[in-house]
Structure 1
Amino acid sequence: MNFALMPQDQAYLPTPTLQRARGIARIGTQQRDGRTCLKTLFQEGCCKIRMPKTHSSALEAVFINTAGGITGGDHLQWGASVAPQGRLVVTTQACERSYRSTGDTAHVHTRLRVGAGAHLDWLPQETILFEASKLDRQLDIHLEEDATLTAIEAVLLGRDAMGEQALSAEISDNWRIRRNGRLVHAEATRIRGGIDERQSLSLLAGNRAFASVVHIAHNADAAEALLRRVRARDGEGMIGASTTGERLVVRAMAQTGLALRRLLVPTLVELTGAGALPRLWHL
């Protein structure tokens, strides 16, 4: 027997619930015989952490999103805590991908804490924004006395090999870095898919790849010394770099992700605590 569905009955149809990724992962370190070792590890959902063997006294952690990317409605939380005098390098297994959203926004929140005299290299690989993607990202970092930091976030608008422009992609990126509770760096990046954002000389100027690098040194003199070294490596003046107190900020833009990485790698090598990038960064 067949039944016809009347219009008034449509209100009683269940609203489909789309599957969304949820994940939490965080890592903590301790010092043992002059080396930085694992102390705590928590992982849940799609967020995983792996620690490859290295020949350095620093501990290297690889953050992995097993969902294969993020899309509207996903929620990911990452965390890391470095013990006093410790050395931690955090990177990602591959470029993160922000896929097309059906309306909701994907949220990624990262909290990092660096103990006294410790150093953290926050070196995630690039985030690729696909057409109609929506991403809200927050980075909160707390430094204790004499702690230092090198942090990067890089964004690619579409895939180079596919010739994509991702004109409708949206991203909101907020940084807050504090030392002993004192705010030392804050920035907010917004892209809402407008053509003016892409073409304006004061914004992207037609580029499809951009990155921000922040280094917090021990003091203003150390930051100035690093600035001179960064500028010496950038012989063609393709990146922008400046210092304010203990803070060194580097900005870079390029037409492609490969061109951007070639600009950034010499600078990152100069600023990292280990003087080298994780193996996963090598093409």
Structure 2
Amino acid sequence: MSFEGAVGAALAEQRVDARGVLAVRRRVGRTRIERLFQEGAAKIRLPQGAADPLEAVLINTAGGMTGGDRLSWTVSVGADAHATVTTQACEKIYRSSGGEATSTIVLDVGAGASLAWLPQETILFDGSAFRRTISADFAPGARGLIVESALFGRLTMGETLRRGLFGDRWRIRSGGRLVHAEDFAVGPEVAARLAAAAATAGAPAIATVLALRDDAEDLLDSARAIIGEGGGASAWRIGETGKFLARLIAEDGYGLRKRLIPLLQMLNGAAGLPKVWSI
């Protein structure tokens, strides 16, 4: 094999395969770490603080993902414990030279516990290929707040994602019962697909917010006032579980955050937003 061929083969094999695991439990009156495991580019940092909820910051030290990269996060919150999990920065999905980047998220929340899953935005570059899967199990009486947002292109640089692949699969259970399932997929002509009125009417910044809590229906008026015409919100009761769901769309990341941040602050109550969101 030539030198150029050997270098090309080596580069083709250099793919991110990273995994982070965090388990927390309530002991001696507060939420504490029970297990922390990190492998490859997946790192977990815990800012110091005495009060619940425990805050964890997820970091992908690879600086982004491209075709063939794999990243997985597992978070377990024991009974009566409380945790907020976020990311250090937006996750960047770069142009793929072959294959898809994949992110797998597994959440488990015990009885009387709460988890706020609040990663910052995912930025999809033109030509990227990315699939994300979120699986969550909440015990009866557990509270959850889950957000995922995506920017289709480097919008601050005037770049719109025209061609690529994006898939987002959610399976959320409460008390063993499926309470939320969705499969969002777009591509390869991303911009053309999003332009449809039934999609985002061309808006390249989107967010989905899901909250599981008993007072879900009571949140609607406040949420709709924050969201305005750039999205909507609904609430249901599925068995014993209250479910709140909101969708937001905007012309850019700034416009999305202007409504997403106050919405999350309202939904997360006294815990508010992690400090990294303001950096």
Amino acid at match of 2:232: G
User: Which of the residues 202, 223, 240 maps onto 2:216?
Assistant: 223
Q: Which residue of 1 aligns with 2:233?
A: 241
Work out whether residues 157 and 169 of structure 1, in 8 Å CA contact, stay in contact via their aligned partners in 2: no
Give the gaps of 5 or more residues in structure 2: none
Among 21, 27, 49, the alignment partner of 1:32 is 27
Residue 70 of structure 1, aligned match among 65, 71, 77? 65
* Residue aligning to 1:178: 173
User: How many residues end up aligned between the 2 structures?
Assistant: 269
Q: When the two structures are superposed, what TM-score results if normalisation uses the length of structure 1? A: 0.91
Q: Report what 1:106 is aligned to.
A: 101
RMSD: 1.7
**Which residue matches 1:16?**
9
Deviation string 1:137-182 (CA, Å, 9 cap, x unpaired) is 1000000010010000000011122110111121110000001221
Structure 2: distance between partners of 1:273 and 1:121: 11
On the 8 A contact 1:34/1:57 being kept in 2, the answer is no
Corresponding residue to 1:150 among 142, 145, 161? 145
- How far apart, in 2, do the equivalents of 1:31 and 1:229 lie? 32
**What is the CA distance between 1:55 and its match in structure 2?**
5.1
Contact kept, 8 Å, 2:86 with 2:274, in 1: the verdict is: yes
- What is the rounded CA distance, in whole Å, between the counterparts of 2:272 and 2:49 in structure 1? 12
* Structure with bigger gyration radius: 1
Q: Deviation above 3 Å: which 4+ runs of structure 1?
A: none
- Partner Cα distance (2:157, 2:19) in 1: 32
2:185 maps to 1:190: yes
- In structure 2, the partner of 1:276 is 272
Give 1:274 deviation, angstroms.
3.8
Q: TM-score, normalised by structure 2?
A: 0.92
Aligned to 2:254: 258
d(CA) in 2 for partners of 1:49, 1:94 = 13
**Partners in 2 of 1:42 and 1:274 — Cα distance?**
29
Letter in 2 for 1:264: L
Cα distance in 1, alignment partners of residues 93 and 107 from structure 2? 22
Structure 1: gaps spanning 5 or more residues: 1-8
AA in 2 matched with 1:153? E
In the TM superposition, what whole-angstrom CA distance separates every residue of 1:100-119 from its partner, at most 9, and x where no partner exists? 11121011101000000111
Quick one: distance in 2 between partners of 1:51 and 1:157? 30
Which of 205, 208, 219 is residue 209 of structure 1 equivalent to? 205
